[in-house]
Amino acid sequence: MNQVDYLRISLIDRCNFRCQYCMPEGTELDYIVKQQLLTDSELLTLIESVFIPVGFTRFRLTGGEPLLRPGVVELVGAIASLPETQDLSMTTNGFLLAPMAQSLYDAGLRRINISLDSLEPDIFDQIIGNRGRSRWQDVWNGIQAAYHVGFDPLKLNVVVIPGVNDTEVLDLAALTIEKQWHVRFIEFMPIGNGDLFGDRGWIASEQLRLDIRERWGLTESQVRGNGPADVFQIPGAKGTLGFISQMSECFCDRCNRMRLSADGWLRPCLLNESGQIDLKTALRTGITTRELREQVRELLAIKPEINFKGRDTGTEGIYTRTMSQIGG
C-alpha cells in the first residue's frame, strides 16, 4: 500500500458542461447551496491543521468545474504558499481557462489536467451535452494558453467511449509527438450510469496500447506521475501517453489518495462511501482540529480494507452520487 499523501479537493459540484459519462441526460442533480460549501477559510483550516499534519502534501483542485468557484485564483495562491505544499494541481474542462491561465500560474499552480474527449467539434459537443454554439474552440484556446504560460506537465484527459470517440485514439495520441503534452486515456467508469452506452461498455487500455503500438511502436516511459496511470511513450515523442485502467486492471493496492467533497465529506475511495467523515459539520459544531486529525488518522488506517470492498460485486449501488458530485 502506497503512502496516502494526495488529496483531491472538490471546490464546487456545479459544472458548465454536462458530459454524458459524468451527468447522463435526464439526470436531475441537487446542487449544493452556497451555505453548504466549505468556505475558503474552512478549507484552508482543514488543509493546514488537519491534512498536512497527518501527512498530506499534494493537492489537486477539482469540481464539478473548479474555475466556477468564486475567488479560485486567490485560493490557489493561499494553498500554494503553504510551506508544506509539495505539489498543487488542477483538473478543469478548460472552457474558462484561456483568460485565467496566467493568473493561475502566477498564483502558484504549476500542473494542470484538461479534459479533451475529442478533436472533432461536433463529437466534442455531443459528449459534453452542448446544443448551442460549439465550445470546442474555447477549450482548445484554454489548452494553448496553458501551454504558452508554461504549465508542465500539461495533461489532456480522454475518456474513451465506444462508438463515440474511440476512432480518435491515434489522432489524440499523436498530440504527444511534437509537443510536451501528456495524453491520458481513461477507461469509462459506470458510476451511476452503467446503462449509458448499453452493451458497448468500455474499451480496455491494453487494446488502445496495441493499436498505438501497431502504428508507431510504444515503450514504457521513465516519467511517472502522482496517480494510477501506466505511462508509455511513442519512440521519439516529446510527450507521454498515460493509461488509467480502473476497469480492466485494478490498481487499488497503489491508491495514494483521498477525496474531499465540496460540502466537506472526506471519502477514502472513489467507489465506496464506507468510513466517510463529515468534516464541515464537525468544524461548524466546534470539534477541535486535534480531534479531526485523529479521525482522519483512523480513516487512513482502515483505507486499505475499504479500497477493496465491492470489487466482486461491481460499482453499482456502492456510490449514490454522480461523478460530478463525487469530485472526479
Q: Is 250 annotated as a binding residue?
A: no
Q: Is 6 annotated as a binding residue?
A: no
Task: Give the count of beta carbons closer than 10 Å to the beta carbon of residue 57.
Answer: 16
User: What is the chain's length?
Assistant: 328
Question: How far is it, in rounded angstroms, from Cα 238 to Cα 235?
Answer: 9
3-state secondary structure of 66: helix
Task: Give the count of beta carbons closer than 10 Å to the beta carbon of residue 190.
Answer: 16
Q: Is 290 annotated as a binding residue?
A: no
Sheet holding 87-92, edge to edge: 219-220, 230-233, 240-244, 181-187, 154-160, 111-115, 87-92, 58-62, 6-10, 257-260, 265-267, 277-278
Q: Is 147 annotated as a binding residue?
A: no
Question: How far is it, in rounded angstroms, from Cα 243 to Cα 47?
Answer: 30
| Residue whose C-alpha cell reads 460549501 in the numeric block | 37
Q: Is 274 annotated as a binding residue?
A: no
Q: Is 189 annotated as a binding residue?
A: yes
Angle between helices 136-149 and 121-128 (to 10 degrees): 100
Q: Is 297 annotated as a binding residue?
A: no
- The C-alpha cell at 168 is 480518435
Q: Is 60 annotated as a binding residue?
A: yes
Q: Is 259 annotated as a binding residue?
A: yes
Peptide bond into 227 cis (omega under 30): no
Q: Is 91 annotated as a binding residue?
A: yes
Binding-site residues, please? 8, 15, 19, 21-22, 60, 64, 91, 115, 155, 189, 252, 255, 257-259, 269
Binding-site residues for GTP, please? 8, 60, 91, 155, 257-259
Binding-site residues for S-adenosyl-L-methionine, please? 21, 64, 115, 189
Binding-site residues for [4Fe-4S] cluster, please? 15, 19, 22, 252, 255, 269
